[in-house]
Amino acid sequence: GAVVSQHPSRVICKSGTSVKIECRSLDFQATTMFWYRQFPKQSLMLMATSNEGSKATYEQGVEKDKFLINHASLTLSTLTVTSAHPEDSSFYICSAEGEGWGKPQHFGDGTRLSIL
Amino acid sequence: AQTVTQSQPEMSVQEAETVTLSCTYDTSENNYYLFWYKQPPSRQMILVIRQEAYKQQNATENRFSVNFQKAAKSFSLKISDSQLGDTAMYFCAFMTYTNAGKSTFGDGTTLTVKP
């Protein structure tokens, strides 16, 4: 089945650091990927839609200069949290648009980001 | 705009018994998909079951089945013969034909299966 790999799984770093998270589709091509943020025991909040070869589409209220998204190939999208601060600490999950009817999403394992 | 409501933040069930998780949604669209996703404590979300709105027959996947009531905009998930491995957070999700791939998620229901 479709596999999405997300790396790293956990990051702990100092305030002001920029952090890059990678999302790869391992056995299929993903024209579209999605980036979510999830707080403990809460739902997924869509941050942006990442489209291969074009600019990402950000949801309202998400700072595009803070959360840089690059989707340079059909198998890789990256999310960079620039100059991260403690309030950026969260669980970030990527997903890739699947194939077949309904195009169910295939999710990565998530990245736990902790900013000290 | 579409909304998805899961009114049960937490539920529990005894192993081998049956449990139903509720989900309602609101939309003005006529063509859409509905999904249930499972997020176990290991955190990777996986698809449990999906339903296409124009199909009246309820979807089933082994022990998982749905009760889709289009007029009532209801999409509940029934888990039969609950197993310990079913312990997870379950999310109901909605997606329109015109916005394929972009889902709206409910707030989730945390299900605990007790031995």
pLDDT tens track for B65-114: 999 999 999 999 999 999 999 999 999 999 887 776 788 999 999 999 99
CA-based nearest residue in chain A for residue B38: A107
Q: Does A60 touch chain B (CB under 8 A)?
A: no
Chain A residues inside the 8 Å CB shell of B101 = 32, 34, 49, 97, 103, 105
Comparing CB atoms, the residue among A101, A105, A110 nearest residue B103 is: A105
| Angstrom distance (rounded) from CA A102 to CA A98 | 8
Residue B29 has pLDDT above 90, yes or no: no
pLDDT tens track for B39-57: 998 778 999 999 999 888 9
| Angstrom distance (rounded) from CA B68 to CA B72 | 9
Comparing CB atoms, the residue among A49, A101, A109 nearest residue B43 is: A109
Comparing CB atoms, the residue among B35, B105, B108 nearest residue A104 is: B35
| Angstrom distance (rounded) from CA A11 to CA A21 | 9
* Residue A47, pLDDT score: 95
Chain B residues inside the 8 Å CB shell of A110 = 43-44
Q: Residues B24, B52, B76, B85: what is their CA dihedral angle, to the nearest 10 degrees?
A: -130
